[in-house]
Structure 1
Amino acid sequence: MVEDLVAFVKARLIEDRRIAVQASSGAPRPPGQHEDERWEWIHSRTRRPIPLDQRSGSQAWGRASLRTVNVYTQIYTTGGSGHEFRIRDAEVDIDAAMHIARHDPARVLADVAAKLRIVGEYERAVRTAQGPDSDAAAQGEVRALGRVLRQFAHAYADHPDYRPKW
């Protein structure tokens, strides 16, 4: 069961890393995705793009929206039912736009790398706890890091391979 948890968490993190790398590298897109994907900051009142040199400062953000000129479709599963998320030539309000910007590929890659290091620490702790020098501290480290991995897995509870018993 623990091996399944580790494999599940690693697989989800690797998926997150692949998507972040793809988003930031200009790599070929899977079939059905646009090659000319483009978002732009626009003035909320005039709906015209905000030039790069005018995007700094809190005053600019108070009157900005993020707009895409493409269609994005994502289907994901929650509780066994499919949902579709679609944006078409739409605007995203400033709060959603700031959320999108905060989760840029570089940040996602750093987060994934940190979590994969913790998974590695768990695997190292398991090897130590199974070795001849195992003691109560080693067993405690395995239990503590195992609880952390379960929390990582819980973030992907909507994935079809997630197991609530973890």
Structure 2
Amino acid sequence: MTDALVAFLKARLDDDEQVARQAASREQGGASWRLEGATVLAGDGAPVARHTWADEGVHIARQDPARTLREAEAKRRILRAHAKWCEGRCEAKYPEGGFDAAHYWSIKALAAVYADHPDYLEEWRP
């Protein structure tokens, strides 16, 4: 079951990265977005979105492609760290997945962000 959960999480991170790269490729000046007045601007100053209330614009600018790419990489590093730590330690106790309970729970927590995805299994909910 752990292998399926890790594969699911890696696929969702791939999806996030692909969408972020597509959004960033539309701009000439980079993937970092900023808010100016009622408009979210790309790195080169091109408008990305207009918002209708103040907090919406702040949210859109904060979720820029650069942040999404950093977040996906951070989650990949967490997965690699778990796998490295558990190597040779967890397989004997948890042969079907190779992770101990604490590491498995944290991977479930990372995957819970994608609970609305059709491939998410309810048994993965932390």
TM more than 0.5: yes
CA distance in 2, matches of 1:13, 1:93: 30
Q: What pairs up with 1:5-154 in 2 under 5 angstroms?
A: 5-26=5-26, 55=36, 64-66=37-39, 91-130=51-90, 142-154=100-112
Query: Higher strand share goes to which structure?
Result: 1
Structure with the largest fraction of helix: 2
In structure 2, relative to structure 1, the CA distance for the partners of 1:100 and 1:90 (3 Å cut) is closer
Unaligned runs of 5+ in 2: 28-34, 41-48, 94-98
Root-mean-square deviation (CA), in Å? 3.0
The 4+ residue runs of structure 1 with deviation greater than 6 A are none
Tell me the percent identity: 37
Which secondary structure state, in structure 2, belongs to the residue aligned with residue 123 of structure 1?
helix
Deviations, residues 38-94 of structure 1 (Å, cap 9, x unaligned): xxx7xxxxxxxxxxxxx4xxxxxxxx3238xxxxxxxxxxxxxxxxxxxxx974322
Equivalent residues of 1:122, 1:142 under 8 A apart:
no
Aligned residues between the structures? 107
SS in 1 for 2:122: coil
Structure 1: which 5+ residue stretches go unaligned? 28-40, 42-54, 56-63, 68-88, 136-140
Structure 2 length as normaliser, TM-score? Answer: 0.71
Deviations 1:122-154 (A, max 9, x none): 2223322257xx79xxxxx73222111101111
